[in-house]
Amino acid sequence: MHTGTGSMKTGPLLRNRYLLVLVCLILLTIPFFKINNAVIGLFVAYGFYRIRRENRALQTNDLLLFLPALMVAAYLIGLLWSSDLFEGWKQVEKRLPLLVLPFGFFLHRSHLEKKDIVFLFHFFVMLCLALSVVCYSNALYNIILHDSFKVVEELERDYYYFSYLPLTNVVGIEPMYLSLAANLSVCFLLARPFRNKALNLLLVLYLGFFVFLIASKIGIISLAAMLCLYALSRVGSHFARLTVSAAIALIFIVIIYNSDFLRERFTAETNIQYDRAWAGDWNSFTQRLAIWSCALETVAGSPWGYGTADGQIALDQTYERKGYIRGYEDHYNAHSEFLYTLLDLGAFGLAVLFVVILYPVFAAWKFRQHLLLYFLILFVLYFLVEVVLARRYGIMLFAFWYPLIIMDSGIAERKPSFRS
């Protein structure tokens, strides 16, 4: 009898470990698309296997988990007026994790306890720390190889191998998306900290330092915003909140001002002459100003959108008409989730995107769920300057963490009404 009881107690625990291993594998295999898709398939199949005897029906509150799937539906509808169904379907297929991952987590919801979800938050923090170590190790190798911290291009720059592309190339993740992962880890540490407060603080400082070295402008701005938001929501008195937030903003400004490289990245030539797009005084911010100007002009030509994947074709035509050679040769996308959605799906698509973002923002605000609020605001900031949901890494981060954070918050179990 004793053996049988022990077996009954350990069985569910072991199965939960299998589930956690599968979920961790999804994160680890994101850069390897085919392997990642196979792991996601196993994850969903395992969910069907475990839920087959529960016979749980979909409840109204569960719909909050599936909000990201509205974007998949919107891009499917956009195929109706798309001129290239093959390319259009590729855009839909790319976004399928926005449907599949929330559905997978819905199937597993009764088997993932809050402590399991917190474990996954901390696992991701450790994963980001490992990526930073790989980046630093490669930078040190290059310094030893070239016997210098500097590389002579047009100008000499200190800590060349410890910043931006030379730092991040080794892990195969663009600086902006690596900064997004690091900032997301900071959000987890702020809202679901490790028990050791000193260790938690050190990790926040370490990852913040890493974000500065990555040197993505929106990454640094988002880090400042997250820390200020944390101060405004957690520090005691109203005066103390404002003081700490102002101090954080001042520290960031001083750091940027005292770094020649960062200061140059935050300043830009605003006199846009499209035929000078390859000139040395055009940085990534100037490029974005040019892109946004062309995108807004293109949106005005069809407020209801050009159809799934056709928005890029229309934008390329605007680049060519305005003589923005770099834009149409490199097929620059709109570099804003909001403009990209407008180009493809028009006002309808933008309304869907706002629902996907704002409904959970209101829920997070009402129920004081700080982590969900940090997560959504972080992605909105990146949405302003990048088409996050057109890149696999960005799609996976949003599709993976959104349902888990909803489950962690417990909002989906509450009444759907926002009345107090």
Q: What share of the chain is helix, strand, coil (3-state, %, to 5)?
A: 75, 0, 20
Identify the pLDDT of residue 267: 80
| CB-count burial class (<10 Å; 0-12, 13-18, 19+) for 213 | buried
Q: Are 101 and 40 contacting, i.e. CB atoms less than 8 angstroms apart?
A: yes
Place of tokens 């892990």: 171
Domain ranges of the chain: 56-111+275-420, 113-267
Diameter of the chain by CA atoms? 82
The structure's pTM equals 0.91
CA distance 172 to 6: 46
pLDDT below 50 — which residues of the chain?
A: 1-14, 279-280, 416-420
Identify the pLDDT of residue 160: 85
| CB-count burial class (<10 Å; 0-12, 13-18, 19+) for 277 | buried
Name the amino acid, one letter, at 46.
Y
Identify the pLDDT of residue 241: 87
What's the CA dihedral at 173, 179, 182, 187 to 10 degrees? -140
Residues paired with residue 157 on neighbouring β-strands, in sequence order: 151
- Tell me the C-alpha to C-alpha distance, in Å, between residue 326 and each of 286, 288, 344, 349: 12, 12, 22, 28
Identify the pLDDT of residue 413: 65
User: pLDDT for 61-99, tens place per residue?
Assistant: 678 899 999 999 999 999 999 999 999 999 999 999 999
CA distance 225 to 246: 11
CA 119 to chain centre: 20
Q: Are 416 and 379 contacting, i.e. CB atoms less than 8 angstroms apart?
A: no
State the Cα angle at 70 between 68 and 74, rounded to 5°: 130
